[in-house]
Structures are given as C-alpha cells and as structure tokens.
Amino acid sequence: MSVDNQFAEQAAQAASSLAQGFGDAFKQLQAMQIQPEAWTQLQSEYLRQAGALWNGALGESHDPAQPPAAAPLKDRRFAAPSWNENRLAHFTAQLYLLNARTLQRMAEQVQGDDKTRARVRFAVQQFVDAASPSNFLALNPEAQRLALDTQGESIARGVQLLMADVQRGHVSQTDESAFEVGRNVATTEGHVVFENAFFQLLEYKPLTAKVHARPLLMVPPCINKYYILDLQPENSLIRHAVAQGHRTFVVSWRNPDADCVHWTWDDYIGQAAIKAIEVVREIAGTETINTLGFCVGGTILATALAVLAARGQQPAESITLLTTLIDFSSNGVLDLFVDEPSVRMREMTLGEQAVNGPGLLHGQELATTFSFLRPNDLVWNYVVGNYLKGEAPPAFDLLYWNGDATNLPGPMYCWYLRHTYLQNELRIPGRLTVCGEPIDLGKITAPLFIYGSREDHIVPWDAAYRSTQVFKGKKRFVLGASGHIAGVINPPEKKKRSHWIGKGTALPADERQWLENATEHPGSWWTDWDQWLAGHAGALKAAPRAPGNRAHPAIEPAPGRYVKQRA
C-alpha cells in the first residue's frame, strides 16, 4: 500500500471516529428550533469546508513524517510540533476544530429564551472541550512520542497520578505536598483573638510604629478559605493593609462538618458577621470601624450592616466591596445553574425541609463546578499533563488554595440560592427579613468603595457595578483589569495590569456610560484604595503592644485551627 493510500485510509478512520463522537451532538442540535435557512447555510458551509480539508490533506504526497503544507495549528492544545509534523494528527485536529466551530455556530442559532440558549451554548462548549483529540492517548501524538521516548515510563507515571487523584477525589492542579497553611501560605504574623462555632477572628501584628485609630475588618467569602488574601508576603492584601498602618482583623470561617448541617443564613449574619463587628469595636475601643467584604463575604457584610441599620446602628465608617454581588439581575455563566427546579431540588435534598434532614454542600462539588467554568484551563489541561504525559503539576500557591475546598451548610446555601440568585430580593427594600429585621441596604449610611474586575467570569464587572445603584451613601467605583482573583490580588510592586477610574463622582445607571467616561491608569488599584481608606481611618496613634484586649486575649497564633480544617 502506498504512503498516500495508507494515509487516506487512516484519515478516513479518524474522520469516522470523530463523526461518531460528534454525530449525536449534531443530531440533538438539529432537532432543536433552528431556522431552516440557517440550518441549510450551516450544512452547506460545513460540507464545503470539510471537502476542502479532505482534498487538501490527500493532496499532500510527501512522507507522513514531514510537515504538511497547511499552516501550523494556532490552538494551543495543538501547539506542540508533533501535531504539525504528523499528517494524520494534523488532519484529525483540523477536522475536530471544524466540527467544534460548526457545533458552536449551530448552538448560536437555537431558538428560545435567553437562558435556554445560554444553557445550550454552555453544554455544547463543555462537549466540544471534552471531545478534543488532545484529551485521548490514541489521538495525541505528543503523548505518544513521550511514551516512546521514555519507554513507557510516562504512561506508568500517568497511571500512578490517576490513582492518586482517584483517592483524593479530584484532578490535581498543583503539587499539594509543597504547601502547608501557616508554613508557606497564610504566614502574616498575628493571633486568634476570638472564636465561636462559626469563625475565628484574626488580628495581625502591626508593621508600623503607629496605626490608624479605626481598625479594618475583612470578611472573606465563606465558599473559600480566607488566605487568598494572604498567599505570600509579596501579594498579600492583608499584609499590605497592615503595612499601610491599619489595625487589621480578618474573619476565618469554620469549615462546616456534619455537626453544622442546620446552620442558616441568619446564623452567618448574626453569629458571625455581626459578632465580628462587635468584637473588633470592643477590642479597638471605637464607635465605628472600616469594613471590607470580598465576593460572597461582601454580600454577607452588606446584609449584616443592613440588619444593624434596621436596629438603628451604623458601625461602619466605610465599606469596601470587592467583586461582590448585591443586585443579582444577571450574573454571567453562573445564572445557567439556577432556576426554580434546581433550587427546589437543593431545598429537598439539603435544606431545612429536606426529607432526610438538612445536609452539606460538599466543597469538592463547588470546586468542580467552578473548574468547569474554564474546563480547558482547569480540567483538561491537567488530564492531559497528569495522566497522558505523566507530568506531575508544578507547585503553585494559588491553585493549592483553589483546591482547598470548603463545605456549606444546606439551609444557608439554599436560602442564598433562592433569595439572591433566583429571586434577586436583597436589593429590594423590606423584601427580606434577616435576624428578625426587615432589611434595606439603602439605610446604610457609610461611604462605599466598590471594585469590579473587567474579565471576571464569577462576578461580571457590570454586576459589581450595579451595587452603585442600590446603596445611597457616597460611592466610588473602580474597575480593575483581569479576573476574579488576579484582578483583586494585584500588588502595586508588581507593576502589572491597569485600572479605570470614573470622571468625577457620577455613577450613571448604565455601566457602559461610566466606562466611556472613565480613564485608564497603569498598575494596581490598591494605591487608589489606600488613599480612599486612609481618609476614613482616623488619626494615627501608637500601635498596640499586644493583640486583643483583656476581654479578648490571644488564643493561638494565626492562621489558627479553623483554616486548617479540610473538607
């Protein structure tokens, strides 16, 4: 058999294999409501491009080991030389990319309401990413060559890594043995000065001879561990705040276990956020404090301050909300997972009225969900590297934190889903009762610094901006570059990225109008926040010599026990 005939036979087999994999997806999309004209055009263009691809591949008459005449594949999954040097692999990748593009275009043509169409697009993207030939040893020339070069050792290592991940219950994204909380992450010096069943309160040792009179309380998200704010000294927002002369306190949430399944949203507000505010005020001896909430921590903080406002109390001198949802009108890809049936199902299985009693939303389920929002980067990249190539992932502190999952009590989680994501009631004055109080965020008088990240896929920046229309106090909105984490954790010393500041104090209802009039500034938004926060922090005074006070003495060194509890 000639070289070209052999290639033609192999290419036909590859095409048939891909057709079987994509066939059901094509049929399911075709069965949906797609306009006949659009379907005819898609079909015609697909056949034309597939024919051109086939003819181009067969037109090559040189040895299979030589690079084809076609341009190198630009998709980074096929960037290794092996994909371009091997004619069959090159053809397989090209055909996959054609099928993927066609499926995605079909998904765009599906008729229906916005949410249905978005779900179809999301499902198609998940299938397309999973079906990549790079994910399969039989179709990945790079992994095959590595297996030959190592005489099978890469395959053996891949099996070992796979078995270890099966025991862990998740795909490893980093070398988890390289990190230990309190040893080389979460190392800013401090002490636990209060604890109850829900949280530990950390106070950090001053780095300056004098501190501002008003302390700063940070409320991180309860769906992650607090040390995203304190990964390493050079990128720690906590250490940065301390170095700016702020007496800094941080909530470290307990990782709920079976004893915590009955905890509610009211518990998180009353027994945690409000309690933390009270203790910080007692320790610092101040009427008001500066407050900061990150992501869900910002939602919790705002709710707690609304409860206190309903009781006639205004303990916040200022509020900083980082990538926080308050108005849940539209929240990007996360909206796809929330509707009445899905929320009701959670309530029946995890909530207060669950048939078998309340339960836990396990942290790994949350972590997996967030990973599949970016599957190529956070799932398939590691499947290929870990299992097909046998390459253990390198040590990376951010991904270690990302894999250090936290559980959530079912009743709290179900309340949050229904009243925020599904029914969007938090923004409506008097609609919700929390801790026995009808809450109105508009009654919070403290000035706000509201931050959003421009490429955030968890809290889209326009969703973060909508908070400016809910609160009535003085507000400042700053937009940072990058995503949910990298946009927030952006120390000035790195001189990376940029941020946008609006013109004057105008905060129009339309975020696009704000952006049109905003000015881009190089570097981190932290410096702008530093100036803003200093204006609310009060005069400087001698730094305290010891953490806590007589009523709340130091219990143990930071980072404390709670953050070390594994899900």
The count of C-alpha atoms lying within 13 angstroms of the C-alpha of 356, restricted to the half-sphere facing its C-beta, is 5
Closest by CA to 518, choosing from 499, 498, 502, 506, is: 502
Tell me the H-state helices in 350-395.
363-371, 375, 381-382
Q: Are strands 448-453 and 316-322 parallel, antiparallel or unpaired?
A: parallel
Task: For residues 386 and 175, give the distance between their C-alpha atoms in angstroms, rounded to a whole number.
Answer: 11
Token match 């410096």: residue?
A: 527
DSSP bridge pairs for 253: 199
Q: Find the catalytic residue in 222, 260, 295, 414.
A: 295
Q: Are 80 and 142 in contact (CB under 8 A)?
A: yes
Q: Are 478 and 348 in contact (CB under 8 A)?
A: no
Burial class, 206, CB count within 10 angstroms (exposed 0-12 / middle 13-18 / buried 19+): buried
Q: What is the 3-state secondary structure (H, E, C) of 253-275?
A: ECCCCHHHCCCCHHHHHHHHHHH
Task: For residues 83 and 79, give the distance between their C-alpha atoms in angstroms, rounded to a whole number.
Answer: 7
Is 295 part of the annotated catalytic residue set?
yes
Token match 């106090």: residue?
A: 473
Residues 6+ apart with CB under 8 A from 6: none
Tokens of 151: 């005489």
Closest by CA to 450, choosing from 296, 292, 331, 309, is: 292
**Catalytic residue IDs:** 295
